[in-house]
Amino acid sequence: MYEEVVEIPAYDLLTISDIILISGWGPTEESNDLSRSGYDVLPRVSSVYSGGDNQLAFYTEVYHTDKFFDNGKEFIISTSIENAYFTKVIQESVNYKKFSPNPVIPLIQTKRINELQEGVYNLTIEIRDRENVVQSSKRLEFIKTSGNNTNSTIGENKKVLDEFSAYVAQLKDEDQLYDHLLSLEPIADVYDLRTIRSTISNDLSDNDLDVIKTEETSIENIQLQSESSANLNNMQNFLYKFWVEKSPESPLKSWLEYLSRVEAVDAEFGNRLKKGFETDRGRIYLEYGSPNTRVVRKYDTGANPYEIWHFYQAKEFANKRFVFMDTDQVLNDYRLIQSDMIGEVRNDNWIDMILSGVQTNRVNNQGQSALDKTTLSDGARNIIKDLYLNPR
């Protein structure tokens, strides 16, 4: 004899039925297979909406609000659309409506989707109490395409995004994620830089004091664990969002290629105090790529160790140079002391810095250019000038 235990949920459990995407509805005149709580609803066959689809319609039912909200007070049902991968709510789609408790509440709504970009979205339904606290929720994924026949394309793109999402989800080490986010700074724009610094500033490094040691502080322990989990999610979400926006067709491939460069930079330029991407040479390498020529001078008479990097093309600019100097000759930490690249440090006294080892000014002044100070009798200065002007 076959036996199976079936768990039946409590009759007063607050629940939302499966969400049905529909293509039409109307009052029920005679009960049939399409009847739902007094409505005939025609299910939509596909959850993919093309560029010509202007609205999404859906049907769902909410159960047992009369048991859950036993005080008889009104509650709120909110509906919205969110980006499935960034969990970012589309504000224009948000709708709030008050309801009185009932055993079953049928819900039919439409959402305008004509302005949604191509991508994967969630239709979200939430039941909120009078304090606006979510008590139950349900989500349904749907896809918006830009054309009328791009299901295979968006399906393939979804597969790529799912692959990257799974990769990011398995990154559980907060210290590793912290470094991953910092390593993005050389290629981040000003807005992403703010987000990176805001995200990593919420890490739990300040809580490494082992303040939680006794049973009396177990609640604090739970709180810190919750904060740690939230911070982990924030870092995971940012890493995912950054690469999906930067390389939507192949975010995982692009990230792994960049990570390989970060590891190479760390191996060559890192030291016991800094990761490779935190050094000036590492940052320039990650931001502009590998230099076409790299002059390394460590033993010139009368000069401190220095390097001159030359790029045929740095971003949209041609023929750009970067000069680094070893400031302490112990840590292999060469500082950027001069560049003719827009936005980088400019220093009219950079040759004097190499010759003296003393930092002078690191800003452009109106005085004599470093290249104009060369004298025929100054051999070391002439060598530096020649290497700067004639890269090889």
Q: How many CB atoms lie within 10 A of CB 348?
A: 21
176-204 pLDDT, tens digit per residue, is 999 999 999 999 988 788 888 877 765 43
Of 310 and 380, the structure prediction assigns the larger pLDDT to 310
Rounded distance, CA 336 to CA 350, Å?
Answer: 10
Residue 250 has pLDDT above 50, yes or no: yes
Q: Of 350, 373, 376, whose CA–CA distance to 361 is shortest?
A: 350
Pairing of strands 55-63, 104-112: antiparallel
Provide the pLDDT confidence category of residue 244 given band limits of 50, 70 and 90. confident
CATH number of 15-149: 2.60.40.2550
For residues 2 and 255, the model is more confident at 255
- Three-state DSSP at 389 gives helix
pLDDT of residue 143: 87
What is the model's pLDDT at position 91? 87
Residue 180: which residues within 8 A CB-CB, separation 6 or more?
Answer: 171, 235, 239, 259
Q: Sort 284 into a burial class: Cβ within 10 Å, 0-12 / 13-18 / 19+.
A: buried
Helices 174-183 and 251-269: crossing angle in degrees, nearest 10, is 90
User: How crowded is residue 101: how many other Cβ atoms within 10 Å of its Cβ?
Assistant: 18
Write down the domain spans for the chain: 15-149, 166-268, 291-389
- 171: its two tokens: 């990154």
Distance CA 277, CA 35 (A): 62
Non-local CB neighbours of 242 within 8 Å, separated by 6+ positions: 184, 188, 192
Checking if the pLDDT of 262 tops 70, the result is yes
Residue 213, pLDDT above cutoff 70: no
pLDDT tens string 58-111: 999 999 999 888 777 899 999 999 987 766 888 889 999 999 999 999 999 999
Q: How far is CA 44 from CA 19, 31, 63, 166, 359, in A?
A: 11, 20, 23, 29, 71
pTM (two decimals): 0.56
Q: Which of 28-32, 179-183, 247-251 has the lowest mean pLDDT?
A: 28-32
Identify the weakest region by mean pLDDT among 12-26, 77-91, 309-323, 353-367: 353-367
Q: What does the pLDDT look like over 295-329, one tens digit per residue? A: 999 887 778 899 999 999 998 899 999 999 998 77
Query: pLDDT category, 220, cuts 50, 70, 90?
Result: very low
What is the C-alpha separation between 270 and 268, in angstroms, rounded? 6
Whether the predicted pLDDT of 347 surpasses 70: yes
Please choose, from the candidates 283, 174, 287, 284, the residue with its C-alpha nearest in 3D space to the C-alpha of residue 239: 174
Mean pLDDT of the chain: 81
